[in-house]
Structure 1
Amino acid sequence: MAEDVIAKAPRWRRWGKEALWLLLMALVVSTLLDLWRGPSLPDGAMEAPFTLQDGTQTSLAELSRDKPLLVYYWASWCAVCRFTSPTVEQLWQEGENVLTVALRSGDATQLQLGMGKKGLSFPTHNDEQGDLAAKWQVGVTPTFLIIKDGKLTSTTTGWSSRWGLKLRLLWARW
């Protein structure tokens, strides 16, 4: 019996090492993809005015002054966004600083109706024609940006968990 336990220990150790290598490789690939697909904000993007769905105007610099801002680029037709939008809504309801940009999701009325049906109330800028996406070189939805004091601190694309987003916001506070 003791011989069986001793014989299995190296196998578990080997599997643990392989799992660690696999995790490390996934992290490297994910980071490289984020760098490759990440947006590139042009000069003046932080001060440029945004008009939100409710008609108010603001800027990224203004919104990110007191605490980190999560900018969530999404679309009503995006399959992955169906899973990430409720997460962003939850963060917004919990008091996190959130601004969303809806990419080619219809006119203001269509967007408002669609958001209402999905229970989304986060502040949204409607990028109806995709002009902002072109300026920022956003080619993937969803795209997440973290901005603190008018400076881009982190970006990621694709699905992200609630805890992943919360950790990015926490990291930006330091």
Structure 2
Amino acid sequence: MTAKATNSSSWAEDVLQADGPILVDFWAEWCGPCRMVSPILDQIQAENPDKITILKLNVDENPDLAMKYQITSIPAMKVFNKGEVETTIIGAKPKFALEQDLAPYLA
């Protein structure tokens, strides 16, 4: 199960009005570390389909959202709950480290 994409036009429905925690992966095609994190996030999504939803947002295609959420380096991941940012994770990390960061949502 791969994480689906979101964008400026579907952002409110996909993220701000969603039930449960939503992790948004802010990434870009040219970003090597982003490509390393992507399959790890897909694994976490596949293993926890009822606990967290993972979405990908291309910062080059959605600069308005990248600016709004102050994305200055990628990969950057933000966990939204009830439309608010609860957790921010910056940089590529191995799976166990990401799972530790996301532990409150995966329990």
Q: Is the 8 A contact 2:40 2:95 kept in 1?
A: yes
Aligned partner of 1:84 in structure 2 is 37
Q: Report the TM-score when normalising by structure 2.
A: 0.72
Aligned partner of 2:23 in structure 1 is 70
Q: Is the 8 A contact 2:80 2:87 kept in 1?
A: yes
For these two proteins, the number of residue pairs brought into alignment is 97
Letter in 1 for 2:67: A
In 1: Cα distance, 2:27 partner to 2:76 partner:
7
Letter in 2 for 1:84: V
Unaligned stretches of 5+ in structure 2?
1-7
Q: Which structure is larger by alpha-carbon Rg, 1 or 2?
A: 1
In 2: Cα distance, 1:129 partner to 1:148 partner:
21
2:58 aligns with one of 85, 92, 102? 102
Q: Please identify which structure carries the higher strand content.
A: 2
Unaligned stretches of 5+ in structure 1?
1-48, 105-127
Does the residue aligned with 1:140 lie in a helix, a strand or coil? coil
Matched, 1:160 2:93: yes
- Judged with a 3 Å threshold, the aligned counterparts in structure 2 of structure 1 residues 148 and 135 are, in CA distance, closer, same or farther, namely closer
Higher relative contact order (CA 8 A, sep 6+): 2
Q: Report the TM-score when normalising by structure 1.
A: 0.48
In 2: Cα distance, 1:129 partner to 1:58 partner:
16
Per-residue CA shift, 1:64-110, capped at 9, x if unaligned?
Answer: x23x2211101110011121011112122222411110122xxxxxx
Letter in 2 for 1:144: M
Deviation at 1:140, TM superposition (A): 0.7
Greater Cα shift, 155-164 or 69-78: 155-164
Q: Is the 8 A contact 1:80 1:158 kept in 2?
A: yes
Deviation at 1:60, TM superposition (A): 1.8
- Judged with a 3 Å threshold, the aligned counterparts in structure 2 of structure 1 residues 97 and 81 are, in CA distance, closer, same or farther, namely same
Query: Cα RMSD (Å) of the superposition?
Result: 2.4
Matched, 1:60 2:8: no
Does the residue aligned with 1:156 lie in a helix, a strand or coil? strand
Q: Please identify which structure carries the higher helix content.
A: 1
Q: How does 1:24-173 map to 2 (within 5 A)?
A: 50-51=9-10, 58-63=13-18, 65-66=19-20, 68-94=21-47, 95=49, 96-104=52-60, 128=61, 130-172=63-105
